[in-house]
Amino acid sequence: MLPRQARRKADFVVCLLFIAFGGLVLYQSSLMPWETSRTGAEAQWYLSPGLFPAILGILLILFSLRVLVSAVAEGGHRDIAGPLMAWILDLPRNVRVHRVVFIVVWSGLYIFGALGRVNFQLASVVFVFVMIAVFWLPGAGATLARRAAIAALVSVIVPVSIAHVFSTYLYVPVP
């Protein structure tokens, strides 16, 4: 979780987004049929498909306002741009963010780019191997060759055998 001060600044922005989203849900709900003769009765606002989303939209706005009030009370609305710029400027040195971005982008490539387009076993072997290699091999020192061999073995044996079990014994064809 982010540190408290940074969290309050983020709360301020995110709650404004949630309030806008709640408003959008309310608007979309208002476009749904509120009075219909489909089931025979005259006015059936309580049967409208928009009723439940409208309630949720209102609740989302109210709860977001509650968080927004706390964020403002703790000064979350002050000087948002400064710390944000500092964080952005620090990005080239922020290793934790690099790791998160790598995981998300690499997984995204595997899921959106490879699934259904490339042979599933091959794509999975490459995905698993690169992921293990990126996080496990750096800093291995003298054990680098041993670790690389283990990474290669694990990334071939596990995905291929599990995919085989799924398709052969559980009758689930792989993507």
85 vs 134 by CB, closer to another protein: 134
Report if residue 53 touches another protein, rule: CB under 8 A.
yes
Interface of this chain with another protein, residues 115 to 174, rule: CB under 8 A: 115-116, 124, 127-128, 131-132, 135-136, 150-151, 154-155, 158-159, 162-163, 166, 170-174
Q: Does 7 bind another protein (CB under 8 A)?
A: yes
Q: What angle do CA 8, 13, 15 make, to 5 degrees?
A: 85
# of chain residues touching another protein (CB under 8 A)? 67
Query: If binding is defined by CB under 8 A, does position 20 make contact with another protein?
Result: no
Q: Which amino acid is at 157?
A: I
Neighbours of 83 (CB within 10 A): 13
Q: Binding another protein by CB under 8 A: which of 55, 85, 122, 144? A: 55
Given a contact cutoff of 8 angstroms between Cβ atoms, the answer to whether 155 and 129 are in contact is: yes
Measure CA 112 to chain center. Answer: 14
What does the alpha-carbon distance between residue 128 and residue 114 come to, in Å, rounded to a whole number? 13
CA pair distance 69, 3, nearest whole angstrom: 18
Q: Is 3 in the site for another protein (CB under 8 A)?
A: no
Supply the angle between the helices 120-136 and 144-168 in degrees, to the nearest 10. Answer: 150
**Tally of CB atoms within 10 A around 97:** 13
Q: Does 77 bind another protein (CB under 8 A)?
A: no
Residue 30 and residue 58 in contact, taking contact as beta carbons nearer than 8 Å: no
Task: Check binding of 105 to another protein (CB under 8 A).
Answer: no
Residues making contact with another protein (CB under 8 A):
1-2, 7, 10-11, 14, 18, 25, 28, 32-33, 36, 38-39, 44-53, 55-56, 59-60, 63-64, 66-67, 70, 96, 99-100, 103-104, 107-108, 110-112, 115-116, 124, 127-128, 131-132, 135-136, 150-151, 154-155, 158-159, 162-163, 166, 170-175
